[in-house]
Amino acid sequence: MAEPKSSAPPRSSSDQRNIAALPPRNSSARAELVERLADKAKLIRRETVRLSRIAGAGHYSGTFSAAELIAALYYAQLRYQPSDPGWPDRDRFVLSKGHAAIGLYPVLADVGFFDSALLDQYTRLGSIFGDHPDMRKVPGIDFSSGSLGHGLSVALGLALAARVQGRSYRSYCLLGDGELAEGQVWQAAMAAGHFKTGSLIAIIDRNQLSIDGPTETIMGVEPLDAKFEAFRWKVHRIDGHDLDAILDMFAQLDDDPNGAPQLIIADTIKGRGVQRMELDTDWHVGNLVGADYDDVMNEIDAGLQPSIGGR
Ligand SMILES: Cc1ncc(C[n+]2csc(CCOP(=O)(O)OP(=O)(O)O)c2C)c(N)n1
Ligand SMILES: [Mg+2]
């Protein structure tokens, strides 16, 4: 394979992300930011519950494990212009675990990609919103995912495209840990290391569970750090529900587009934020109605409580 030319300009910290600069820990500006992001994570969980009821079923637990990550990405990290979804210099975001789209659509609406009233028709005949996202229909979606295993390859292609086009955008990809059983993920991982795509940022939602059981029983993925390091990635590991840790991690990412691709392993809890769902495979897909619906909404409103999941 021919080596793509490497002319992508480095990003500078002054590049326009969603926030100009990360306020230091323990400052009031930082506390305000974290509170705002926690509110957005609540929005993601609440809307997931509401839209699931419209559809008659929804992916709760794998969306909840990623709620803080998605909130931090869209309200503090990615650069984009909702008025111009195809802006060529936008950061790309590939939701490789496409079944979490139910939590992403409300964010795209909230930041202004489309009218949030459209969500009331979620999955109904004629709606642009399917259970999995369609890049041809939904403004702000960069890839039609849902069939697991493809996203990292696409995000890598987008990172290589930035290099060829001389653009400074980053390419982010959110993967599930069960998804890592797909061989194509490892082809992409190997190629990304080989091509030194430093502008590629993969985030693994390490919630320990696939659809019907623990990853380590179905297809063990550990030691995850060592595997990606062997493929020449720079690897970080954080608590994926700790907004301060996520923000610090984002601020530490390298800006060299020709350096090692960068992986964030985010240790999370599947179903986090709703105790009955935590680490319970029965809530991968479900449908909350009646009093259960109201109870769960109240629980979400109360914010994250100590996890019963033991981690
Ligand atoms: C290629 C493919 N195989 C199977 C599925 C069915 N499926 C949907 S979600 C899921 C579980 C994936 O587990 P993980 O990646 O860990 O997702 P999370 O725990 O974050 O929900 C599976 C197997 C799919 N969407 N695509
Ligand atoms: Mg998982």
Q: What is the pLDDT of residues 277-292, one digit of tens each?
A: 999 999 999 999 999 9
Residue 133 has pLDDT above 70, yes or no: yes
50 inside domain: yes
Q: State the pLDDT confidence band at 14, using cuts at 50, 70 and 90.
A: very low
Compute, in angstroms, the gap from residue 199 CA to the centroid of ligand 2. Answer: 25
309 inside domain: no
Compute, in angstroms, the gap from residue 56 CA to the centroid of ligand 1. Answer: 19
Residue 152 belongs to domain with CATH number? 3.40.50.970
49 inside domain: yes
Cβ 209 vs Cβ 270: under 8 Å = yes
Nearest alpha carbon to residue 198 among 1, 26, 6? 6
Query: Does the beta carbon of 97 sit less than 6 angstroms from any atom of ligand 1?
Result: yes
Neighbours of 283 (CB within 10 A): 20
Q: What is the pLDDT of residues 20-41, one digit of tens each?
A: 789 999 999 999 999 999 999 9
Mean local confidence (pLDDT), 6-33: 74
Total count of domains within the chain: 1
Determine the structural domain holding residue 254 and report its residue range: 24-301
Quick check: helix, strand or coil at residue 205?
A: strand
For residue 55, the one-letter residue type is A
306 inside domain: no
Compute, in angstroms, the gap from residue 99 CA to the centroid of ligand 1. Answer: 8
Query: Does the beta carbon of 42 sit less than 6 angstroms from any atom of ligand 1?
Result: no
Query: Does the beta carbon of 240 sit less than 6 angstroms from any atom of ligand 1?
Result: no
Query: Does the beta carbon of 47 sit less than 6 angstroms from any atom of ligand 1?
Result: no
105 inside domain: yes
Phi, psi of 201 (to 5 degrees): -120, 110
Q: What strand order describes the sheet that includes 171-176?
A: 92-95, 171-176, 200-206, 262-267, 234-239
Cβ 243 vs Cβ 30: under 8 Å = no
Cβ 73 vs Cβ 100: under 8 Å = no
Which pTM was predicted? 0.95
Task: State what percent of residues in the chain have pLDDT above 90.
Answer: 91
Q: Which residues contact 176 (CB under 8 A, 6 or more apart)?
A: 62, 96, 97, 148, 204, 205, 207, 210
